Copies of this chain bind each other. A is one copy, B any other.
Amino acid sequence: MEQARENPAHPSAQSTLHEVRTAENSAAYLLPKLTSLRESNPHLKLLDVGCGSGTISVSFAKLLPDGQVTGVDLNPTILPRARAVADMAGVGNVEFQNASIFKLPFADETFDITFCHQVLVHIGEPWDALREMLRVTKRGGVVAAREGDYESECVWPELAGLEKFHKLMAGLMSAGGGTPAAGRQLISWALKAGVERNQVTLSYSTGSYSTSGERKILSQGLCQQLRGGGLREKARKFDTGNEEEFEEMAKAWEEWADTEDATLASIHGEILIQK
A residues engaging B (CB < 8 A)? Answer: 149, 151-157, 181, 183-185, 187-188, 190-191, 197, 202-206, 208, 210, 260-261, 263, 265-267, 269
**Contact: A261 with B188, CB < 8 Å?**
yes
Identity of the chain B residue whose Cβ is nearest the Cβ of A211 in the assembled complex: B202
A178 to chain B, nearest CB (A): 16
Question: What are the residues of chain B within 8 A of A197 when measuring CB–CB?
Answer: 260-261
**Contact: B202 with A184, CB < 8 Å?**
no
Known: A156-B185, A157-B188. A204 touches B261 (CB 8 A): no
A202's contact among B153, B205, B210, by CB below 8 Å, is which? Answer: B210
Known: A204-B206, A205-B206, A206-B204. A154 touches B267 (CB 8 A): yes
A206 to chain B, nearest CB (A): 4
A172 to chain B, nearest CB (A): 20
One complex includes copies of this chain to the number of 2
5 cross-chain pairs, A with B, having the tightest CB-CB distances, nearest first: A154-B184, A204-B206, A188-B261, A156-B184, A187-B261
Identity of the chain B residue whose Cβ is nearest the Cβ of A264 in the assembled complex: B184
- Of A185, A267, A269, most B-chain CB atoms within 10 Å: A267
Identity of the chain B residue whose Cβ is nearest the Cβ of A212 in the assembled complex: B197
Question: What are the residues of chain B within 8 A of A260 when measuring CB–CB?
Answer: 187, 191, 197
**Contact: A210 with B188, CB < 8 Å?**
no
Question: What are the residues of chain B within 8 A of A261 when measuring CB–CB?
Answer: 187-188, 190-191, 197
A190, B210: Cα distance in complex, Å: 14
Question: What are the residues of chain B within 8 A of A191 when measuring CB–CB?
Answer: 260-261
**Contact: A183 with B157, CB < 8 Å?**
no
A263, B157: Cα distance in complex, Å: 29
A78 to chain B, nearest CB (A): 29
Q: Can you list 9 A-B pairs, Cβ within 8 angstroms, ordered by A?
A: A149-B265, A154-B184, A155-B184, A156-B185, A156-B187, A184-B263, A202-B208, A206-B206, A263-B269
Question: What are the residues of chain B within 8 A of A154 when measuring CB–CB?
Answer: 149, 151-152, 181, 183-184, 267, 269
Question: What are the residues of chain B within 8 A of A184 when measuring CB–CB?
Answer: 154-156, 263, 265
A235 to chain B, nearest CB (A): 26
